[in-house]
A = this chain, B = another copy of it.
Amino acid sequence: MSKRDFITVEDWNGEEIDALLALAARIKRGELLGGLERKVMAMVFMDPSLRTRTSFETAMFLHGGHAVVLEPGKSSWSLETEPGAVMDGTTVEHIKDAAQVLGRYADVVGVRSFPRGADWNVVREDRTVRDFARYCEKPVINMESSRRHPCQQLADAMTLREKLGDPRGKRFVLLWGWHPKALPTAVPASAALAAAHQGMEIVIGRPDGYELDAEDTALIRKIAQARGGEFVHIMNDPDEAVVGADVVYVKSWGAVKHFGQPEEEAAFRAGLRDWKLTAQRLKSTRGGQATVMHCLPVRRNVEIDDAVLDGPTSAVVDEAENRLHVQRALLLALLGKT
């Protein structure tokens, strides 16, 4: 029997994902306990975390299991990711060995690995998490890679259903926001895919030069259409982009064409501080009442103004809470008796 990984939502079929979301809803209503007794999750964090760490550790505990936290390069050895590397430099352990060993100790392994390196054509292959899955005999969960944040995507899908009832045909606006740093594109791609799976009408509002990876954009379009949603519309004006939105999902990301060149990217981004969600812009959404989403952490008063984040239509805390419920469902699906 082959093992099951969770690297992208799209690796699973639509019915499986719908079943996961239904299970998460039952968990949120308090209907499910236990199922992970004597099960161990190893979490490998190559980058920081608040929600992911707390929600997975809590999820394992609530069902009778336990999560171990590892931080390569800090509490644990720095990891080499290059296949065939002659390891005479600073990295101490190859992921091939770490993945095999953790597969012996744990029942499931989570991996967080943000983009590293300067070549998007390499980085976009998501080799770190995929190699980890290849070498590990136990299921591997992507806790955010260069390309995807599938646990966030599940939480976003759950939040869209909760807030909108039936999301089909409603307007989802992914709004780029200015940020002091060039951030990865994993979350915006995953968020738009969540909306696409729900059959929504998708708008991407971003400045010229901030296109998502072309393959991701095509995938968003294809899934939206297959699910009865609309084409991806792209707008390069933040005022125009949010008009009539049922949902505004704010997120910053770096320009892929300047990937790995933070100074050039910063110069390119310099004039774009007006790109944020203000109370004024929220007024032009449908009824001035669009649900406001963000994966957190959010730069307050830079990406979204306090008045919006603390206002009645903000769903950012519910979104974060749903991480716990979808991950409990995911762990039960991968490891438990459901």
Is A48 a contact partner of B77 (Cβ separation < 8 A)?
A: yes
A66 CB to closest chain B CB (Å) equals: 4
Among B76, B87, B310, which residue has its beta carbon within 8 angstroms of that of A50?
B76
Chain B residues with CB under 8 A of A75: 45, 48-49, 53, 69, 71, 74
**The stretch of A4-12, A125-133, A145-153, A294-302 that contacts the partner chain:** A294-302
A104–B97 CA distance with the chains assembled, in angstroms: 36
Q: Can you name the residue of chain B whose Cβ is closest to the Cβ of A306?
A: B84
A201–B74 CA distance with the chains assembled, in angstroms: 39
The range of chain A's interface size is 35 or more
| A57 contacts partner chain B, Cβ-Cβ < 8 Å | yes
A44-86 contacts to B, CB under 8 A, are 45, 48-51, 53-55, 57-58, 61-62, 66, 68-72, 74-77, 80, 84-86
Q: Can you name the residue of chain B whose Cβ is closest to the Cβ of A86?
A: B301
Among B61, B101, B299, which residue has its beta carbon within 8 angstroms of that of A66?
B61
Is A104 a contact partner of B321 (Cβ separation < 8 A)?
A: yes
Chain B residues with CB under 8 A of A86: 300-302
A269 CB to closest chain B CB (Å) equals: 12
25 sample A-B contacts, Cβ–Cβ < 8 Å, listed by A number = A40-B58, A40-B61, A48-B76, A49-B76, A50-B72, A50-B98, A54-B68, A54-B105, A54-B106, A55-B105, A58-B68, A74-B74, A86-B302, A87-B300, A87-B302, A89-B180, A94-B300, A96-B300, A97-B296, A97-B298, A101-B320, A104-B320, A104-B321, A104-B324, A105-B321
Assuming A58-B106, A93-B298, is B70 touching A53 (CB within 8 A)? yes
Secondary structure of the A side of the interface? mixed
A298–B77 CA distance with the chains assembled, in angstroms: 11
A250-309 contacts to B, CB under 8 A, are 296-302, 306, 309
Contact with B along A10-45 (1 / 0, CB 8 A): 000000000000000000000001000010101001
Chain B residues with CB under 8 A of A102: 50, 54
| A215 contacts partner chain B, Cβ-Cβ < 8 Å | no
Chain B residues with CB under 8 A of A313: none
A102–B317 CA distance with the chains assembled, in angstroms: 10
A49–B54 CA distance with the chains assembled, in angstroms: 19
